[in-house]
Amino acid sequence: MDYQVIIPAAGSGKRMGAGYNKLFLKLDKRPIILHTLDVFGSDQHCNKIILVIQQDEKDIFTELLLKSRYASKIEIVYGGDERQYSVYNGLNSALNSGIILVHDGARPFIRLKTIGRLVEVAAESGAAIAAVPVKDTIKKAIDLEVVETVERSSLWQVQTPQAFRFSVLMDAHNMASKEDFFGTDEASLVERTGQSVKIVESDYDNIKLTTPEDIYFAEAIMAKRKR
Ligand code: C5P
């Protein structure tokens, strides 16, 4: 089944500390964002990629896209100060039907099989997110004092892509905007509408490159995949 994807890439990457957008950092001699775009570009079921960028990085992205084999599928849209605004701007440029995915530009290791399963489940039930079971023991603490050990068996660590029927995601964004609600992912907006959200088990190596040590992990994942 065909789908479109919004790729937010308009962050500043402060926690990476590179001094510029972390998506321009290179993995295997190619900027991170091109690796992410390659996955969706190479998927015959992906018919449109909406790449959300900062307006003042337009020239850099335009130049980068010259190196992408999939540039014809990519539409550039300008983002906002928060990731949620960036996704909303992307949503307003999307075709208003079918299945829409949101995937962070900073997750270059997503597998096509996970994308395919997310699209299927979202088509069946409205909303599906990639996640992996939590491996560590999780505790809640206040002022460095433990107040609770959270039961781990029902905990999932959530990733992107997150996949939705177009109207499900649009309604959720409209409601969040009306109620001034901010979430750290799309599903948290969708959950508030009463829509059920299904989990598709993903891979632990679908990491988001956030802090400097993630680059070491990413290089190791890249080397393993090339073998
Ligand atoms: O900062 P973090 O890694 O959590 O951001 C996730 C994704 O959202 C990144 O790909 C980043 O470029 C994007 N983003 C955005 N607009 C913002 C903030 C983040 O598109 N205002």
pTM of the model as a whole: 0.97
- Token couple for 82: 């928060």
Per-residue pLDDT reduced to its tens digit, 55-87:
999 999 999 999 899 999 999 999 999 999 999
Ligand 1 centroid from CA 227, angstroms:
30
Q: Which residues of 83-117 are buried (b: 16+ CB within 10 A; e: fewer)?
A: bbbbbbbbbeebeeebbbbbbbbbbbbbeeebbeb
**Which residue's alpha carbon is nearest to atom 6 within ligand 1?**
104
Contact status, residue 16 vs residue 210, Cβ threshold 8 Å: yes
Ligand 1 centroid from CA 104, angstroms:
7
Ligand 1 centroid from CA 115, angstroms:
20
3-state secondary structure of 147: strand
Which residues contact ligand 1 via a Cβ below 6 A?
8-11, 23, 52, 79-83, 86, 104-106, 208, 210
Ligand 1 centroid from CA 3, angstroms:
21
Fold exhibited by the domain 3-226:
Spore Coat Polysaccharide Biosynthesis Protein SpsA; Chain A (3.90.550)
| Candidate from 83, 110, 207 with most ligand 1 atoms within 8 A of CB, to mutate | 83
> Which residues lie closer than 8 Å to 1 by C-beta, 6 or more apart?
45, 99, 119, 120, 123
Domain ranges for the chain, please list them. Answer: 3-226
- Of ligand 1's atoms, which has the minimum distance to the CA of residue 52? 20
Ligand 1 centroid from CA 15, angstroms:
11
Q: Helix, strand, coil proportions of the chain in percent (round to 5)?
A: 40, 25, 35
- Of ligand 1's atoms, which has the minimum distance to the CA of residue 14? 1
Per-residue pLDDT reduced to its tens digit, 2-57:
999 999 999 988 999 999 999 999 999 999 999 999 999 999 999 999 999 999 99
Per-residue pLDDT reduced to its tens digit, 123-171:
999 999 999 999 999 999 999 999 999 999 999 999 999 999 999 999 9
